[in-house]
Amino acid sequence: MTMLSYIVGQEHERNSFTQKSRYSGRAMEELRDASIHHTALKLSSDIKTMKIYENLYKMVQKLACSPEVDKNDMRTTLETAIKSTGLDTEIRNLIYHLIRTSIRADVRSTATSSHDPLNYLRRAGIQWERRVKRSLTAMCAELKVPLQGQTRILADREELASKWEELSNYQGPSKHEEDEFLPRWEFSHIALPVKNLFELRVHFSDLLRHDIGVSEWTAQCHKVLALRHAPVCQQVLRKGCTPAPVRGQLWAFVLGSHIDTHHGEHWDLLKSTVLTTDLIVDKLVFKDVQLTATNDDQYFVFEDVLYQVMLCFSRDAEIGQLLSADTNALTAPKSGKQFDGPPCGIVPHHGICMFAAPFCYLYDSPVKLYFTFRAFYVRYCHRLTTINTHPQGIVSLCLLYEKLLQTHEPQLWSHFRELQIQPIRVVFKWLMRAFSGHLPPQQLLILWDLVLGFDSLEILSLLAVIILSFRKESLMQVSYIENIEAVLADLSSIKVLPLIQLALSRD
């Protein structure tokens, strides 16, 4: 506990949990010590429930018995030994990721009350979730298959196992025309706080700093990787010019998804469950990949690995546990009635595989790809596909987009309104998929560098407004939604970093 308290003390201060404005002197010190103590207790409890805990405990035990540790000065010598082996970096990264999730979720949970004016939005989230689940239940009834799945017959199991590396040859559902969901309502009346352009400029100020040479920057990135410290890796991503060879490793550190022994074991267990159990959502997975990635020139070559990843994703019960730390940021509290759906708790929706597709460019191992994608989905993507009140949920991002467009491109705003076209309609699919499948992969990865580096999805709304501004002249000359969509259909010429830097530096 002493060693953990020492590390928590340093990480605690780095992650904005100190309140400096109201206290000073001794009172401030007492408050800080009490805060660190309670934080250490909570983190110690959380760490003990993690799969990595047993290995960490054994490594510390081994160090404690080594000649480098003096029993007469246990604390100092053990700390020195832990640092010399690099174990302190692993512990720091572990604490860093826990602070970003569970503790911040606890802080947010105290902010809601029965008098919250946004309770109606949370209720809408619950109603939408129930509607999706009813649709899945109805599908099961129509097809006469159990919702909780059924054991695969031996022949089907053997065929699936033999074609695991080429699942595109496994017989899936027939293809249908894509049904595009588009909202028919506006967001400007919703009382959610969002940033203005000045606040965005402050938040993303690192993007405006002077760039260094490519070779020098690459060398710095390799030095950062050698440190293996997640917060430093996150700072590197803020530049938006991450060298491709190190991007995957940096993302894994920032998301805490570096592969350990238990990751491989968990993947094998998920694969085994896919082979032995037939779920109704498997049909949705195959259909989604076929309608999106398979029809995309940039991603069709990854069709087989996407089947593997998404089938395993649907059976991963840990996803629900990981999302539970962010429950109140999603919707209102869950109802008491149990839903016996996919183990992951997420009904596959149209385009969900496109959150995983870009990771195919980063990893040649499906195991590495899966766990980094899973961490990214849990941290960001689920907020884009649920009705929620999170500051970076889809509702807030739509509201931010509308306010930026109305304030900084009033002509475009008025043009859309005169045509009786909701301004959000033309960009909603970009926001909902975080631009995956719309931007070229190289530019999308730069955009997601910034999402991870600044821990913010707000960059999506800013980019959406910038693109409309960039094509303003063409948009002002057309009068029908079909023509507007045609103007915005091809984003292959968009360069993410220069456009964002230009928008942030403009007066």
Lowest mean pLDDT among 59-63, 256-260, 395-399: 59-63
Cβ atoms of residues 422 and 183 within 8 Å: yes
Distance CA(363)–CA(377), nearest Å, equals: 16
Mean pLDDT of 304-315: 96
Burial (Cβ within 10 Å: 0-12, 13-18, ≥19) of residue 435: buried
Distance CA 361, CA 113 (A): 44
- In the DSSP assignment, the letter for residue 167 is G
Tell me the C-alpha distance between 163 and 146, whole Å: 25
**Residue 210 banded pLDDT, cuts 50, 70, 90:** low
With a cut of 70, say whether residue 115 has pLDDT above it.
no
In the predicted model, is pLDDT for residue 498 greater than 60? yes
Instruction: For residues 55 and 69, give the distance between their C-alpha atoms in angstroms, rounded to a whole number.
Output: 19
Strand partners, 150: 278
> Could you give the CA distance from residue 63 to residue 81 in angstroms, rounded to a whole number?
7
Question: Confidence class of residue 33 from pLDDT cuts 50, 70 and 90?
Answer: low
SS (H, E, C) 346-366: CCCCCCHHHHCHHHHHCCCCH
Query: For residue 230, what pLDDT is reported?
Result: 92
Whether residue 443 has pLDDT greater than 70? yes
Cβ-contact 436, 350 below 8 angstroms: no
Mean pLDDT of the chain: 82
Q: Specify the residue for token string 């395993």.
A: 312
pLDDT band (50, 70, 90) for residue 258: confident
Dist CA 59 CA 173 (whole Å) = 49
Lowest mean per-residue pLDDT among 45-54, 100-109, 187-196:
100-109
Which residue, 301, 331, 311, 314, is CA-closest to 123? 331
Q: Euclidean distance between the first and final Cα of the chain, in Å?
A: 51
CATH of domain 197-256+386-505: 1.10.472
Per residue in 169-182, pLDDT (tens digit) is 886 544 444 444 44
Domain boundaries in the chain?
A: 1-15+32-103, 122-151+259-381, 197-256+386-505
pTM over 0.85: no
- Of 98-102, 193-197, 358-362, least confident by mean pLDDT is 98-102
Lowest mean pLDDT among 171-175, 299-303, 340-344, 420-424: 171-175
pLDDT for position 16:
46
d(CA 221, CA 241): 10
